[in-house]
Amino acid sequence: MCGIVGYTGKQSVVPVLLEGLHQLEYRGYDSSGIALQRGDRLAVHRRCGKIRVLESDLPKRLAGKTGIGHTRWATHGEPTDDNAHPHSSEDGRFAVVHNGIIENSDPLRARLVEHGVHFASETDSEVLAHLVAAADAPTLLERVRLALAEVEGTYGIAVIDAESPGEIVVARNGSPVVIGIGDKEMLVASDVGALVRHTQQVVYLDDGEIAELTPSAYRVITLDAAPATKQSASIDWSEETYARGEYSHYTLKEIHEQPESIRRTLRGRLDRRFQAAHLGGLNLDARELLNFRRIKVLGCGSAYISGCIGARIVEQLSRVPCDAEPAAEFRYRNPVIEADTLYLAVSQSGETFDTLSAVQEIKRKGGRVLGVVNAVGSSIARACDGGVYLHAGPEIAVVSTKTFTSTIAALALLALHVGRMRDVSVAQGKRLLDALDALPDAIQTILDAEDEYRQMAKKYAHYDNAYFIGRNLGFGVAMEGALKLKEVSYLHAEAYPASELKHGPLALVSPEVPTVFVLPDDDLLDKNLSSIEQVRSRKGPVLAVTHPLGENAERLAALADDVLEVPKLHEYLDPILMLIPLQFLAYFIALERGCDVDQPRNLAKSVTVE
Ligand code: G6P
């Protein structure tokens, strides 16, 4: 969603800001803008649409060394030039960029209007510019602090002042702000991806903190004006990690990165001595872990679906009851937080508002929550009591691919860890570890069949509706397969458990509605084959993603129009292998339909508002 970037230092600021904004594009946005200090005034340029619209509109010579930029995702007010950030005070002295939502913007706006302020936009954010201008204080830092004392809601902000040369003030409450420390230059962004080109040294602001940046120093205080001591951290990833390289899309790149991302998730965590998993970040000893009677997984979107699959693996392997729930549903139903339940928050970005709020709700009620998070140092990771980092590397495409499969691998490790403390034998542990070891190569064999999926996509791209059907772990694969297709190709796709077919979905099965079956070679194969028969007898086209089926292969061939085979590895890891053809299918169908795969309409990578 909205992105912030800011720079003060020796370089010409405009290219730095524009490059930073491009790095933030993947989060999803509908307009962009920059503001910079030029002599004793500010220059502000904002445009609705893609960043290139803003770029083509900028004056040729636009020099300055200090500025802020923003990509906006409309919440209050349509995507228009006027609603784009930065927002300025009436006299043009102050400019503000804001991520988040100012909840009391209506009364603040009414009060400011009463005092004669004229608003230039419909946004909640604009009140910040006027509040800063109205604050009675000698420094920009103090003005921003006083302004924020009046504000309720969430924010990550960056502010510049025409009369404070070389200075940017930033603040955070519920929306990420990261300071980048360079050599005689200081940066700020809502996402480390926008900083890596300039520095590897960062400082993460915490909620309730305000910082003053100048080219040579930063100073952090709290909203109560108390000094805050901050530790800087190093970012693991370099600029190349964020590049698209030889691939036409980030989505394709990230699908192909899965052998490597899984290797990174597993690295150092396979405990061959005890045939168990070694998870150093849980901050829970064996006794504490054994006391949990239930495990609850929370997340949004694909993170929730990976949690659904992971929960079944945890429950089946460890025999601890485990289920998954969308994080927002959970937090709004006033959940009972039990001391003997272990909560797991799954999130790629570590910034999803609903997941973070669920974590905070659990903690407020005294519960224990671990994060299964990709972004190191992110808000969710820091709010949790411990957890498992995915280490899958940055994921840029809006739809999740490699972090989805890494989450399942991480949850399988957790299942093994808990399972080996209970009933899982050394032999069972070894079988899963052997399979985890073999997983990256097995994924590679599927990636090598890319052409087959490209061809298959051509055949299915013209449909407008599709069902995805599976059972047990296969149902999770069906859910994610349907979500991927819907997100990137805008084709309507619905997932159902196979057992539910006859309770409604069959009504819509026809030659115009294909069904994708997730058909592992497991104990439920016969049941699944008879579900396929039900679809066939209504003349519904069938595409099956399956294992080499031996003597059942002929039976399937008689029922399915198309079959995609993946290697069989282990019942808990097969969902990963069966999903990858569906990721490809969604990708290639989106291309066939001329869709913007990396940045699907209306979707954002990181949903930092409610
Ligand atoms: C958005 C993205 C999804 C993602 C979800 C959760 O909706 O478009 O791809 O699964 O947020 O994001 P998280 O960063 O918490 O995993």
Report which ligand 1 atom has the smallest distance to the Cα of 301.
10
Q: Does the beta carbon of 301 lie inside 6 Å of ligand 1?
A: yes
Is 280 strand, coil or helix? coil
Report which ligand 1 atom has the smallest distance to the Cα of 352.
15
* Rounded distance from Cα 306 to ligand 1 centre (Å): 11
Report which ligand 1 atom has the smallest distance to the Cα of 380.
15
At residue 11's C-alpha, the angle toward residues 156 and 88, to 5°, is: 40
HEC secondary structure over 379-441: HHHHHCCEEEECCCCCCCCCCCCHHHHHHHHHHHHHHHHHHHHCCCCHHHHHHHHHHHHHHHH
* Rounded distance from Cα 581 to ligand 1 centre (Å): 21
Report which ligand 1 atom has the smallest distance to the Cα of 305.
10
* Rounded distance from Cα 489 to ligand 1 centre (Å): 17
Q: Does the beta carbon of 300 lie inside 6 Å of ligand 1?
A: yes
| Residue in 329, 348, 480 to alter for ligand 1 test, most ligand atoms within 8 A of Cβ | 348
Q: Does the beta carbon of 563 lie inside 6 Å of ligand 1?
A: no
Q: Which residue's CA is the closest to the ligand 1 atom numbered 8?
A: 605
Distance CA 113, CA 49 (A): 29
| Residue 308 known to be catalytic | no
Q: Does the beta carbon of 352 lie inside 6 Å of ligand 1?
A: yes
Contact between residue 403 and residue 390 where contact means Cβ atoms under 8 Å apart: yes
Q: Does the beta carbon of 341 lie inside 6 Å of ligand 1?
A: no
Q: Which two tokens stand for residue 241?
A: 């990690």
* Rounded distance from Cα 495 to ligand 1 centre (Å): 18
* Rounded distance from Cα 220 to ligand 1 centre (Å): 30
CA nearest neighbour of 399 among 564, 607, 241: 607
Letter for the amino acid at 602?
N
Q: Which residue's CA is the closest to the ligand 1 atom numbered 1?
A: 605
Q: Determine whether 98 is exposed, middle or buried from the number of CB atoms within 10 Å of its CB (0-12, 13-18, 19+).
A: buried
Report which ligand 1 atom has the smallest distance to the Cα of 375.
14
pLDDT along the chain (610 residues), means of 10: 93 96 86 95 95 93 95 86 96 96 94 96 96 97 97 94 98 92 96 90 94 97 95 83 89 97 95 94 92 97 98 96 96 93 96 94 96 90 93 92 98 97 96 98 98 96 97 97 96 95 89 97 94 94 96 94 97 98 98 91 78
What domains are defined for the chain? 3-242 (3.60.20.10), 250-446 (3.40.50.10490), 452-592 (3.40.50.10490)
* Strands of the sheet with 562-565, listed across from one edge: 492-497, 465-470, 515-519, 542-546, 562-565
Q: Does the beta carbon of 399 lie inside 6 Å of ligand 1?
A: yes
Distance CA 66, CA 524 (A): 63
Place of tokens 């340029």: 45
How far apart, in Å, are the Cα atoms of 389 and each of 155, 281, 353, 362, 571?
26, 8, 19, 20, 24
520: preceding bond cis by omega (within 30 degrees): no
Q: Which residue's CA is the closest to the ligand 1 atom numbered 2?
A: 605
* Rounded distance from Cα 71 to ligand 1 centre (Å): 18
Q: Does the beta carbon of 357 lie inside 6 Å of ligand 1?
A: no
| Residue 2 known to be catalytic | yes
Q: Does the beta carbon of 398 lie inside 6 Å of ligand 1?
A: yes
* Rounded distance from Cα 356 to ligand 1 centre (Å): 12
Secondary element (H or E) of residue 507? none
Q: Which residue's CA is the closest to the ligand 1 atom numbered 7?
A: 301
Task: Name the active-site residue from 2, 300, 308, 384.
Answer: 2
Contact between residue 165 and residue 38 where contact means Cβ atoms under 8 Å apart: no
Distance CA 567, CA 546 (A): 8
Q: Does the beta carbon of 605 lie inside 6 Å of ligand 1?
A: yes
Distance CA 468, CA 544 (A): 10
Q: Does the beta carbon of 348 lie inside 6 Å of ligand 1?
A: yes
pLDDT recorded at residue 284: 92
* Rounded distance from Cα 404 to ligand 1 centre (Å): 10
Alpha helices of 281-352 — where are they, by DSSP H? Answer: 286-290, 301-318, 327-332
Contact between residue 167 and residue 8 where contact means Cβ atoms under 8 Å apart: yes
pLDDT recorded at residue 248: 93
pLDDT recorded at residue 55: 96
Q: Does the beta carbon of 374 lie inside 6 Å of ligand 1?
A: no
Distance CA 372, CA 306 (A): 11
Q: Does the beta carbon of 349 lie inside 6 Å of ligand 1?
A: yes
* Rounded distance from Cα 195 to ligand 1 centre (Å): 22
Contact between residue 378 and residue 351 where contact means Cβ atoms under 8 Å apart: yes
How far apart, in Å, are the Cα atoms of 290 and each of 307, 368, 417, 496?
21, 13, 11, 34
Q: What is the pTM of this model?
A: 0.85
How far apart, in Å, are the Cα atoms of 481 and each of 12, 285, 325, 419, 469?
45, 37, 18, 28, 10
Q: Does the beta carbon of 302 lie inside 6 Å of ligand 1?
A: yes
Compute and round to an integer the Cα radius of gyration of the chain: 26
